[in-house]
Structures are given as structure tokens and as C-alpha cells.
């Protein structure tokens, strides 16, 4: 069973109900863990680095190459998502060592689906490992190179996408500044008066101003909740759009450029996870919002999402 982080709460409630005389002691210990989790959530944010491959209809021996941007901060890659199955070579640009070792074989490469999930339109849900068994650590300024092979001839050009998904770490001082005045006291009050966190959903419509490819939905924001939340995951009915300028209100963006929506959120017809869960919870201050500067309809200028009625749903928990 995938507990999605609730296991500790369930165990706490069961212990307290089995031994009511020890419930007060159990509650104090549980509250201490809740407080530590809140403080930890102040210092990390999700981050998404997209790589795009625009490949000609004619096949070629030489691979198409994409290199990550130089980031001004360390980046911990926890998983990789893609929308294709083509052969790839992945290297750290700094030391040129490949991620895959294949012995004496000359033409044996990783496929994109060996290390990533598929978007719903190409794979009907998550396939492959998705979450890596261990993170890939890119230090500040370090880059990663991905080469993709297209040796066959197709009816038309082909666009493929690979997105590195991970965590950006904020300095302790910056994280502590994110709490509004009086919020620590409010959190302490909640911890003392609420036995366990509860689930909260934040849901927004995404309506494009015009129909068809390149239609825009701008300044999408979540509804406000008058208490702090921990953001746990996200899903959407969008499949073909690009998202950019995603962030918490007043904070840095979670991506350097426009990124396929399926890299950020689970799609509504996935055969596996209902939500794409973040590697670490994200602290959202009381009355704070999640902002999306722009969503552009169509990743490849061909396939599009519905103009109106699409949604994005964030699953959260109270402190």
C-alpha cells in the first residue's frame, strides 16, 4: 500500500486509542515530529529542468543533443519524466561519465523509458522507474548532457521531451523569513489543539483565452486558506500544455523555462498514481497562493487541450 506520508499519523492515532492513559505523552512526541516536518518544508522547493529534442523526419546516425542550463544553485534530481521511448545517452558534462554501463556492446543504450515515466497520451501512465533509487546531485554550475538517437525515417518531424525533476534547497535564513509575523505562534496553537493534520484540496480552473495551439491562460492562482498548509502533490486534466512561472507567491520560479505540464502534475487518466507527489512537502503560508504566470496550450503545436474547463488540483495537509 502507498501510504503517501500518512503512516505515521495512522500509527499515532492507533497507539493513542489503544492506550488512552499514554495518549498525552504520545501526542507530545507526535507534535514534535510535526513541528520538525514543518521547519524542514521551509527549506526546499521542487524544481523542473526541461530538455527538448526537435528531430527531423529523416533518420540520422548522429544523435540530437540537449544540455541543461547552468543553474546558480545546487540541484538534487530525484526523478526523470519523458514522453518517448527512443535510445539516449546521459552524461554529466563535468566528468563525461555516462549513467549507463553496457560492457563491450557498441549499440546498446538506455531508452528514455528505462528511467522515466510516460505522459498519458503515449504510455497510459507511469512506466519505468520514475523515482530514481538514489538522487543525482548536480552542484552549482554543473550541467547534464542528454543525447537522443533517431535513426529511422518518419512521416514528419518529431518533438521529444525529457524533464529532470528534483529539489532546490534554500538556505536556513531564507526559509525562516518565509513565515509571516505571528505565524509560528499560530502553528504552535494549531499543534496543541489539533490531534492530527487534515487533508485540504486547492482546485483551480484553467481556461485558455483562445482555442487551439498557443492559446494562453495567464495569472492562474489557487484559492486562499486562512491557515498554513503543506503542499504534497498535484494532478491536472491538462496533457498537452506548457507551464511556466510556477511558484509560491513572491518566491522564485520552480523552473527555468516553459515545461510540459505532465512533468509537473499527474494526468487525470494515469494508470497508476492519482497525484504526482513532491519529494518534500512545500510550506504554504496562511492566505498564501500558488501562482502560475502562464500556461500555453500545446507542447508541439499540434496536439491541444480543451479551451475551457480544465483543472489543476493540489493535494495538501494542514500543519
Residue 182 neighbours by CB under 8 Å, 6+ apart: none
Per the prediction, the chain carries an average pLDDT of 89
Compute φ and ψ for 153, nearest 5 degrees: -95, 130
Provide the CATH number for the domain formed by 22-43+183-318 in this structure: 2.60.120
Q: What string of DSSP letters covers 11-36?
A: HHHHHHHH-GGGHHHHHHHHHHHHHH
Please give the grid coordinates belonging to residue 281: 512537502
At 1, the pLDDT band (50, 70, 90 cuts) reads very low
Q: Which part of the chain is CATH 2.60.120?
A: 22-43+183-318, 45-168
Provide the CATH number for the domain formed by 45-168 in this structure: 2.60.120
Q: SS3 of 76, please?
A: strand
- Whether the pLDDT of residue 238 is over 80: the answer is yes
Strand arrangement of the beta sheet that strand 216-221 belongs to: 216-221, 290-296, 242-248, 259-260
Beta strands in the chain (DSSP E): 44-55, 64-67, 75-82, 87-92, 110-111, 131-138, 144-148, 158-169, 199-206, 216-221, 229-236, 242-248, 259-260, 266-267, 276-284, 290-296, 310-318
| pLDDT tens per residue across span 39-75 | 999 999 999 999 999 999 999 999 999 999 999 999 9
Please give the grid coordinates belonging to residue 252: 522564485
pLDDT for the residue numbered 120:
55
| pLDDT tens per residue across span 97-146 | 778 888 888 788 888 888 877 665 554 445 555 788 899 999 999 999 99
Residue 124 neighbours by CB under 8 Å, 6+ apart: 118, 269, 270, 271
| pLDDT tens per residue across span 267-294 | 887 666 688 889 899 999 999 999 999 9
Amino acid at each position: 500500500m502507498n501510504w503517501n506520508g500518512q503512516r505515521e499519523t495512522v500509527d499515532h492515532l492507533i497507539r493513542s486509542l489503544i492506550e488512552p492513559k499514554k495518549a498525552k505523552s504520545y501526542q507530545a512526541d507526535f507534535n514534535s515530529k510535526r513541528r520538525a516536518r514543518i521547519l524542514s518544508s521551509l527549506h526546499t522547493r521542487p524544481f523542473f529542468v526541461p530538455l527538448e529534442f526537435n528531430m527531423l523526419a529523416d533518420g540520422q546516425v548522429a544523435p540530437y543533443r540537449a544540455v541543461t542550463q547552468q543553474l546558480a544553485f545546487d540541484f538534487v534530481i530525484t526523478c526523470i519524466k519523458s514522453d518517448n521511448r527512443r535510445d539516449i545517452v546521459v552524461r554529466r558534462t563535468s566528468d563525461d561519465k555516462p549513467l549507463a554501463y553496457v560492457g563491450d556492446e557498441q549499440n546498446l543504450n538506455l531508452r528514455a523509458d528505462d528511467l522515466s515515466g510516460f505522459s498519458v497520451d503515449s504510455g497510459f501512465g507511469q512506466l519505468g522507474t520514475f523515482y530514481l533509487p538514489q538522487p543525482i546531485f548536480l552542484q552549482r554550475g554543473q550541467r547534464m548532457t542528454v543525447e537522443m538517437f533517431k535513426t529511422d525515417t518518419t512521416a514528419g518531424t518529431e518533438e521529444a521531451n525529457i524533464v529532470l525533476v528534483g529539489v532546490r534547497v534554500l538556505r536556513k535564513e531564507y526559509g525562516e523569513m518565509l513565515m509571516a509575523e505571528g505565524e509560528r505562534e499560530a502553528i504552535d496553537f494549531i499543534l496543541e489543539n489539533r490531534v492530527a493534520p487534515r487533508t485540504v484540496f486547492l482546485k483551480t480552473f484553467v481556461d485558455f483565452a483562445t482555442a487551439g495551439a498557443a492559446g494562453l491562460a495567464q495569472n492562474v492562482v489557487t484559492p486562499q486558506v486562512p491557515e498554513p498548509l503543506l503542499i504534497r502533490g498535484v494532478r491536472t486534466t491538462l496533457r498537452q500544455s506548457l507551464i511556466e512561472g510556477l511558484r509560491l507567491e513572491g518566491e522564485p520560479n520552480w523552473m527555468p523555462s516553459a515545461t510540459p505540464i505532465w512533468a509537473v502534475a499527474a494526468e487525470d487518466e494515469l494508470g497508476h498514481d492519482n497525484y504526482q507527489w513532491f519529494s518534500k512537502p512545500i510550506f504554504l503560508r496562511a492566505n498564501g497562493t500558488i501562482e502560475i504566470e502562464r500556461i500555453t496550450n500545446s507542447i508541439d503545436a499540434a496536439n491541444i487541450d480543451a479551451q475551457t474547463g480544465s483543472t489543476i488540483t493540489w493535494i495538501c495537509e494542514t500543519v
